[in-house]
Amino acid sequence: MNRIIRKQVLNPTVTLMEIEAPLIARKAEPGQFIIIRSHTDAERIPLTIADFDRSRGTVTIIFQIVGAGTMRLNTLNEGEFVESFAGPLGKATETEGLKKTAVVGGGVGCAIAYPVTKKLFEQGTEVHAIAGFRSKDLVILEDEFRAHSTKFVAMSDDGSWGEKGLVTDALRKLVESGEKYDEVITIGPLIMMKFVCGLTKEFGIKTVASMNPIMIDGTGMCGCCRLTVGGKTRFACVDGPEFDGHEIDFDEAMSRSRMYAEFEKREREAACNLFRAAEGGRA
């Protein structure tokens, strides 16, 4: 069991937890993930490592409260314990040799984009970070991005934060203004990454996309996280989670991500009813 050192509400649907996990913190690198189980009978949830502190022996995760599993995880508070916390899993982001990059994050995907941005910045890479959210109320990690990027561009769908528009609008503007990147790294909703990769392919810029498909065991045995990359089957948990964005079949990935939408909806409604009943019992 692993103790929750810190819990912070970042916005109405996103929570940060810093977990005591010295063995994982010792080896963790940006781009890798963990699998967490909040309670003995809870589901296993894969979450990309948002940060780590080797000296404190802690790993930070950021999760969006979207289903029954994350709702149960969010009931835990500082000082309490999660049942299991396994990792680090997956391959770390390859940053060696990069002189100038753009990191493009969208929504809660910015929690994954931040540690990559931080590592690039600390190793001396010129890094341009683009973060996009639907509105100002949903923004996370703004100060952290500003502190660890050479250039930071804020975008929002409704114009309430930064510039109005999409992350692809910002990236296109930078590229057409003459910025030349060794690589673009994109992390966020599948549809966003698809269009980022389409844009960079147009300009011939190498692009890496971080994939977060349905996953169970995190070791490649269950096959749930399979993707088609360059016409071949790959597994996000062991071959990724990062892949050449120009070779990913995003349409297939989006179709697979919707396979259990109805089941997830029923589970969330059932969990909501349980929480409401519990609150009523305490009234």
One-letter amino acid for residue 51 of the chain? D
Q: Give me the pLDDT at residue 271, please.
A: 58
- Domains 2-89 and 100-210 belong to one CATH topology: no
pTM of the model: 0.86
Tell me the sheet residues that pair with 106.
Answer: 132
The pLDDT tens digits along the chain (283 residues) read 999 999 999 998 999 999 999 999 999 999 999 999 999 998 889 999 999 999 999 999 999 998 888 999 999 999 999 999 999 999 999 999 999 999 999 999 999 999 999 999 999 999 999 999 999 999 999 999 999 999 999 999 999 999 999 999 999 999 999 999 999 999 999 999 999 999 999 999 999 999 988 787 777 788 888 999 999 999 988 898 999 999 999 999 988 877 666 656 666 666 565 555 555 655 4
Q: How far is CA 128 from the centre of its chain?
A: 18
Q: Give me the pLDDT at residue 63, please.
A: 93
**Spans of all domains in the chain:** 2-89, 100-210
Q: Give me the pLDDT at residue 156, please.
A: 96
Write the CATH number of the domain with boundaries 100-210: 3.40.50.80
Q: Give me the pLDDT at residue 257, please.
A: 76
Q: Give me the pLDDT at residue 66, please.
A: 86
CATH 2.40.30.10 fits 2-89, yes or no: yes
Q: Are 57 and 21 in contact (CB under 8 A)?
A: yes
Q: How far is CA 214 from the centre of its chain?
A: 13
